[in-house]
A and B are shown apart, each in its own frame.
Chain A
Amino acid sequence: MTWLMESADYLAVVLRLVLSAAILLTVMPLTIYLERKGSAFIQGRPGPNRAALFGVFRMGGLAHVLADVIKLVSKEDIIPAGVNRFYFKLAPIIVAFIPLTTFMIVPIADVIRLSDTFATPMATLQLDGGLLWFFAMTSLSVYGVVFAGWASNSKFSLLGGIRSTAQLLSYEIPMALAVVAMMLTYGTVQPNEMVRAQGELLWGFLPQWGIFLQPLGFILFITCAFAEINRVPFDLAEGEAELVAGYHTEYSGMRFGLFFMAEYMALVTSGALTVTMFLGGWQLPWLPTERLVADAGTLMPWFIGGAGLLLGAASGRLIRHYQEYTRGRWGDARDFEPLVFSALFALGFIAHGAAAGWVWGVVKAGEALPGWLPPLFAAGVQISVFTAKLLFLCWCFVWVRWTLPRFRYDQVMDLGWKSLLPLSLFNLLLTGVLMLQPWGREVLPVAPVVTLGLMWVWKRYLVPSQARVPATSRLVVGEEASA
């Protein structure tokens, strides 16, 4: 019997690895899709809508993501002369390796207790170090960038690589300090414990999410996350007006594709960590796991029925789309694409309705649900909640990218070293002081008020007025310039 229990543990490891990887590798293309459609939406154009599977299924542009992969894989694999081949080939693998390993510490649901003897946590990696794994791995991404820049034998690559390295290094420190403050707040380094703690209520009604307890820490962390994944407004490493494509200028085909994929996987991973630490992870507000499991009989019809209604609404909307837009538009199979998906959603609607009705019937008859169902239901709800939060955050990353302009390099470095670093150190000390008083987390939201007040005093009275306006930022125009 013992070996059976042990092999169940190993099976659980494989299953949750597959589940985590599935979430990462589906949210990643979805984010690429969001990016292309989102930028189109913001710029007032239709965005990708031409590629079609079998000439029929365009899926609103989603087929483009698939077409991109096929295109990148079938391109010529050019390795320029004079590159350092080993490091040139190693760099994209390192860059893609890191988000794949980092994502695996993120808990996608609470511990599932299937029976008294068998329980499995829902983050693939169970390490004593917890979040330290995240730092260990993200620091490695510098190597990919340095290798790519140095080995490429191109000036643009080298400059991009060096800029990127300096930027990654500068923002790693405030990021680490922001996370240390979160560790103090929740008193643990284990991500799942952190998420559990976020289910408690602040002042009796607000969930203790990191964003409410540590708004300043949230801003620090997400700013550093933007810088760490080299995204606008901090994408100096690949500012195309200056450096062509930065450290991956010389890469083509799928080798470039790996950098591209890795960028979006890193985005999803940063998003997942932000969700875990600041947005309550898998927590559904006011419904902790225990409640979800205990009240599964009454909650399940509502949740499953609700999901079914959403599918039904989507199905109806697609029929409307057919009637208003695609009927008779091309005169071939493409006209009926919305109807096919409408039928699929309708099937989902029926299946959800049947499941909800069955549970309702069982509970109504006064019978007990099978013992494995409530924990799996709780896990399913939590995975959905986590994925929804993650997608929302990914959209925020896209939104920022297409809204803000790019910073100048000296501004990026100044922001990192002169604002974020002292702020994060101060935030850390203040969190330490506030966490030692007897009311604990209840008074923690005071911290940003104190910080902002002190910052104002600092800017107003302590920094000499001459230093406030650096000479270089004064605009020289007209007579002054000619004089």
Chain B
Amino acid sequence: MDTSLLEIGGASEERKLKANDYKGPTARWCPGCGDFSILATTRRLLEAEQMLPEKTVFVSGIGCSSRFPHYLRTYGFHGIHGRALPLALGTKLRRPDLNVFVVMGDGDCTSIGAGHWIHGIRYNTNLTVLLLDNNIYGLTKKQTSPTTPHNYVTNTQPQGSYLEPLNPVSVALGVANASFIAQTADWIPAHLLATMKAAVQHKGLSFIRILQRCPKWTIDIFDAKVKKPDEIQVLTHEDGIRDAKVEKMYKHSLEHDPSNLDRARELTAPSEFTRIGLFYRNEKMGVYDEIRRTDTFTAEEKLQTLEKEFDRYAI
């Protein structure tokens, strides 16, 4: 049996990969876009994990954030709006040897992609899923998304958005089989990197909501957050996401045991704080691509078994 397709490949002594080795064409986002930070951090992650470019796949939907795969020297699948998760599931299901990442925007994931998002979490396939949440539809020019704040002026709702936004973290925590739910921000790259490292280590679907600056459309939302570090609360715990520098930078922290699902859900309630950290982790949930792992058979073996099937229908 060919086992090379079963093991995730890593670099060896002869192939020491650097962050720049993963650099693709120059990204074409607006100057100041939070996606640049996420992209740079991702390259640092790939280097830290020494992931082989040919064994790494980034799958995206449609939106500014979904251009992400084009800017890396890895394999990529720039899919259709809202549908990255099924593509990624199919890829990982049949190629357990590949490192598979998913990149989605807030409209892509929580609006059109909501069905796939909920079920993707439930399938709990081995994927690292990044939600780049800038609270708006960017590429199509400033329409309200499910995470746009209430009363925010947009092109489809110039009177101000009518509804309270959806909180992706609380939705994700409500899905059966959820196994890794975290929140972080693009302007705290050390925390983002630590979160992504933990995500990659996790067995199952790691869902990370990344608050992402959008200087073009929602500058006022994120400017406020960046300029007011006292509104950030860092979740800490020995089993959580730790970074000494980050914890020094931010005045407020909260001890939260990520195995406590009820407490995690409570922490998503509207609050004076924007909380970053690991809300929930459970390594024991069933992992779909492992549950569905099959043996491999040669053509001859398959046809021998098929002959037995035909025998059952023979007259």
A and B are partners in one complex rather than unrelated chains? no
> Residues of B with Cβ closer than 8 Å to A?
none
